[in-house]
Copies of this chain bind each other. A is one copy, B any other.
């Protein structure tokens, strides 16, 4: 996907700090095209400070007078909206919007994502310029997201879609040592049982569920070879010290 196919459009932003926060949120997720519709204060030191190393996104931002001008060449327009609207519109949550946006951008379309004012969001007439409305499901106790946070969540969803299957969901993906085999584990359990008898923790006449619990524990964790060597080493040293002193 060409990230230039996606532009973030901020409409009538009041706090310059939020513009900087948005720039950083975008670049963190691989997006750089920012358009500002009539920001109250821009450029501003507060924006630059919050943008940190995304200062280039600010410097390249396009400043325009109207929403219509901002989205003139867009082929797919998404509006973010917290509030219920009187006119029903196609609405999807941020996850599905992220997928939709990436699909359109991959197809070579120009996509614009509109974010409204800090206090009132997008106006009805602005929302009506959109193909799709995006809803981020916040909690009723405090539904109003900070502007840069809303951008962060939607750009994060865009990035998650883009990465698709390339995210290793499995914790084992980059493990540094091979995992132990079943045969290794069998030898370990034998050694462990022997040692527990040596230290008089396990009574072979009344073993109860001790070994069963220990097997469950170590099978659950999946030992790697180095860990297994450490544990075997501990058992061997214990046996050696007992013999020396016995």
A contact residues vs B (CB 8 Å cutoff): 21, 24-25, 27-30, 52-54, 87-88, 90-96, 132, 136-139, 141-146, 148-149, 152-153, 156, 159-160, 163, 167, 169, 171, 174-176, 196, 198-201, 210, 213-214, 217-218, 220-221, 223, 226-227, 230, 233-234, 237-238, 241-242, 245-246
Instruction: Let me know if A142 and B28 touch, CB within 8 A.
Output: yes
Q: How far is the CA of A163 from the CA of B92 in the complex (A)?
A: 14
Chain B residue, CB-CB nearest to A28: B138
Chain B residue, CB-CB nearest to A172: B90
User: In the complex where A88-B176, A174-B88 touch, is A139 in contact with B27 (Cβ < 8 A)?
Assistant: yes
Instruction: Let me know if A226 and B213 touch, CB within 8 A.
Output: yes
Which of these, B167, B217, B230, contacts A223 with CB under 8 Å? B217
CB distance from A79 to the nearest CB of B (A): 14
Which of these, B54, B136, B171, contacts A90 with CB under 8 Å? B171
**21 A-B contact pairs sorted by A residue (CB < 8 Å):** A24-B142, A28-B138, A28-B143, A30-B139, A91-B171, A92-B171, A93-B169, A94-B156, A136-B156, A137-B163, A137-B167, A139-B159, A153-B156, A196-B234, A198-B241, A200-B241, A201-B234, A201-B238, A213-B230, A217-B223, A218-B221
Instruction: Let me know if A237 and B28 touch, CB within 8 A.
Output: no
Instruction: Let me know if B153 and A137 touch, CB within 8 A.
Output: no
Q: How far is the CA of A145 from the CA of B242 in the complex (A)?
A: 54
User: In the complex where A171-B91, A242-B241 touch, is A142 in contact with B54 (Cβ < 8 A)?
Assistant: yes
Q: Please, which residues of chain B bring their CB within 8 A of the CB of A132?
A: 171
Chain B residue, CB-CB nearest to A32: B141
Instruction: Let me know if B234 and A199 touch, CB within 8 A.
Output: yes
